[in-house]
């Protein structure tokens, strides 16, 4: 009888396999392979050679293909790309925030695996957790819960208080690598602080590092429905000022989450593909602060009974808004708006710096019969067996008041507010670009669309907003009286000095203008509002020579203080995967009013291919003047 084979050496052919599996940037001395793709291993035997027909070697590695994307450009974008853009601002003015995902940077793979081991799932039952790690549905829920720190020592602490003195203001971050490395270096203590786009960006890094196709999604006018009735309740006083919501429902100016690509064998056929996963700690799911994965197709079709957290995800993009007038201790229902929530749902385009609008993936066109049918189907599913609350009722609009969203916007879309009962139209118009440090000049346009005389009293106000929709106290108010003849239009000019708004501005740089008009002779009211995002001039980055691996490279960074006052404690932060080994932090000190400056940095690129430099300038007066530059790094000789 032939003697059995004894293995002397196993050669995992790490360099070759990692190159073929596109993991060579992660490691060159550890085998890292992707599921669904062949790899080679060579066995050397100590006692004799392998004899075909006599010897059998059985090697089993069952990984499946639950996250396989059949498009090479999509694989390059959603797995391999280590930088991208996160869209912010408001639907009238969308701007991008450059981000360094850095999933292939040194030690990131180990930090991601450590994150799995620190999860409550692993701590309670390590054996079961390890068995389930082959499921992207399971992994996405574990990672989602671990990105925030509400239940455990997760990566990030959330903070929406505007007080970040014991940490980093969320708007200052430009990449995930520094966050993950700080979490690891401090013994897995949560990093302070994050908000929705930071949670989503870090989750994108972890999921791409683990080989799961992932992208970052921004939803403008994003609903946060706390009681599951698919209605966001908003409260106003008689000046048109939006009030703090006692039910904690809100419409975020923008909200950011992730989509991960995976099969969903736990759902009916057809609901695999892109899945919503939201790491921002808003509501609990099975006792933990995580959300998803919720099938994007299930959201569009109103199948809110499918796992996981589909009702909440549906409400973020397609809830109705109910407006209430609060006066004399009473609440009067004013109007139900079916169009406000869920606009310009955006992600970075494939292998392009352009913005891709994917709203149609989430819902049918607003105002269409299909959209209302889906909404009512979702509402019916959620109402089954649920008692009705005081604000849960007739989805048909009531008409004592007209709510009109101001129409000027950067993108060509129809008005997002119905104008079904308008005798007088009010509209805001910016007279100059809303640049930080300058006065805000705007006009209120009033148009009498009837054949009758109109005597209007209009209460005007301005207040800062946080990006989650939370209002701050008004810092400017005015009352004007406008008399309009039949079909007459008039313009009232307004100006808010920088000195008046600067001390009240949030780091989100959002200002809400509102006008509540009422006729002196009848109870009809007209409410119009406009959200303004104040803009900074961007940082300009110039690469002063061709970039080549291993050769010194000079990079010029040009920036300015846009304000008419001194900016102190100025700090410039520059990073870029494959270009800098770590973040570059340069203390600038004091910048004089409107002073322009530049510095030149020296680095040696260590990875080839398309790369990106990200930069942020902060001071005691501003926190997030940003810029980026794409760089192609050649291989060299």
Q: Residue ranges for the binding site for Ca(2+)?
A: 318, 320, 366, 371
Q: Give the chain's length.
A: 637
CA separation (Å) from 371 to 201, 299, 318?
30, 11, 9
Q: By three-state DSSP, how is residue 376 classified? A: helix
Catalytic residue status for 278: yes
Beta bridge partners of 627: 615
Other C-beta atoms lying within 10 Å of the C-beta of residue 107: 14
Euclidean distance between CA atoms 387 and 395, whole angstroms: 16
Catalytic residue status for 255: yes
Catalytic residue status for 309: no
In sequence order, which ranges of 384-513 are alpha helices (DSSP H)?
498-501
Q: Which of 278, 406, 468, 529 is catalytic?
A: 278
For the record, the structure tokens of 125 come out as 């039952």
For the record, the structure tokens of 561 come out as 């203080």
Q: DSSP secondary-structure letter at 504? A: G
CA separation (Å) from 436 to 23, 259, 415, 440, 594?
43, 33, 27, 9, 11
CA separation (Å) from 599 to 540, 554, 557, 560, 573?
11, 10, 5, 12, 12
Q: Which of 97, 112, 144, 196 is catalytic?
A: 196
Helix/strand/coil percent split, the chain, to 5 = 20, 40, 45
Q: Which of 21, 224, 255, 335 is catalytic?
A: 255
Euclidean distance between CA atoms 224 and 591, whole angstroms: 40
Nearest to 502 by CA among 475, 541, 527: 475
Euclidean distance between CA atoms 481 and 465, whole angstroms: 27
Binding-site residue ranges: 318, 320, 366, 371
Euclidean distance between CA atoms 344 and 356, whole angstroms: 9
Residues marked as catalytic: 196, 255, 278
């Amino acid at each position: 009888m032939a003697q059995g084979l004894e293995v002397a050496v196993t050669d995992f052919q790490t360099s070759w396999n990692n190159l073929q599996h596109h993991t060579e940037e992660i490691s060159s001395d550890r085998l890292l392979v992707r599921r669904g793709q062949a790899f080679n291993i060579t066995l050397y035997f100590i006692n004799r050679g392998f004899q075909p027909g006599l010897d059998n070697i059985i090697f089993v590695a069952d990984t499946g293909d639950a996250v396989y994307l059949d498009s090479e450009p999509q694989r390059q974008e959603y797995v391999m790309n280590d930088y991208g853009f996160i869209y912010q601002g408001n639907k009238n003015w969308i701007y991008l925030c450059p981000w360094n995902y850095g999933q292939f940077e040194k030690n990131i793979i180990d930090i991601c695996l450590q994150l799995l081991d620190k999860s409550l799932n692993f701590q309670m039952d390590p054996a079961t957790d390890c068995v389930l790690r082959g499921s992207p549905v399971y992994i996405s829920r574990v990672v989602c819960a671990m990105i925030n720190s509400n239940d455990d020592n997760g990566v990030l602490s959330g903070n929406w208080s505007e007080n970040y003195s014991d940490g980093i203001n969320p708007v200052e971050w430009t990449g995930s690598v520094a966050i993950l490395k700080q979490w690891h270096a401090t013994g897995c203590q949560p990093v302070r602080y994050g908000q929705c786009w930071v949670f989503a960006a870090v989750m994108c890094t972890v999921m791409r590092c683990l080989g799961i196709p992932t992208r970052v999604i921004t939803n403008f006018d994003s609903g946060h429905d706390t009681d599951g009735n698919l209605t966001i309740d908003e409260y106003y006083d008689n000046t048109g000022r939006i009030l703090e919501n006692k039910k904690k429902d809100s419409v975020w100016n923008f909200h950011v989450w992730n989509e991960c690509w995976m099969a969903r064998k736990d759902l009916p056929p057809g609901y695999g593909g892109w899945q919503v996963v939201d790491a921002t700690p808003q509501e609990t799911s099975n006792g933990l602060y995580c959300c998803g994965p919720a099938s994007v197709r299930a959201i569009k079709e109103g199948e809110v009974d499918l796992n996981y957290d589909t009702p909440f995800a549906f409400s973020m993009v397609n809830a109705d808004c109910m407006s209430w007038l609060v006066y004399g201790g009473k609440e009067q229902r004013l109007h139900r708006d079916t169009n406000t929530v869920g606009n310009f749902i955006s992600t970075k385009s494939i292998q392009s710096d352009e913005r891709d609008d994917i709203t149609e993936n989430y819902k049918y066109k607003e105002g269409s019969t299909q959209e209302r049918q889906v909404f009512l189907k979702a509402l019916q599913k959620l109402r089954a067996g649920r008692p009705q609350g005081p604000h849960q009722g007739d989805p048909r609009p009531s008409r004592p008041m007209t709510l009109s969203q101001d129409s000027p916007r950067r993108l060509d879309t129809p008005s997002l507010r119905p104008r079904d009962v308008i005798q007088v139209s009010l509209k805001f118009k910016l007279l100059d670009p809303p640049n930080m440090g300058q006065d805000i000049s705007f006009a209120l346009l009033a148009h009498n669309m009837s054949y009758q005389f109109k005597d209007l009293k209009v209460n005007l106000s301005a207040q800062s907003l946080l990006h989650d929709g939370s209002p701050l106290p008004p810092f400017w108010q005015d009352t004007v009286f406008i008399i309009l003849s039949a079909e007459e239009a008039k313009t009232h000019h307004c100006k808010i000095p920088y000195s008046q708004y600067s001390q009240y501005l949030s780091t989100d740089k959002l200002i809400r203008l509102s006008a509540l008009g009422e006729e002196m002779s009848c109870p009809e009211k007209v409410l119009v509002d406009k959200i303004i995002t104040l803009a900074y001039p961007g940082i300009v980055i110039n690469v002063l020579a061709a970039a080549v691996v291993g050769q010194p490279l000079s990079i010029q960074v040009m920036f300015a203080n846009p304000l008419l006052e001194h900016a102190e404690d100025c700090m410039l932060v520059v990073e870029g995967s494959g270009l800098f080994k770590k973040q570059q932090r340069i203390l600038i000190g004091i910048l004089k009013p409107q002073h322009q400056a530049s510095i030149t940095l020296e680095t040696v690129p260590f990875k080839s291919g398309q790369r990106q430099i990200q930069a942020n300038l902060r001071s005691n007066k501003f926190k997030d003047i940003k810029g980026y530059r794409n760089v192609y790094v050649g291989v060299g000789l």
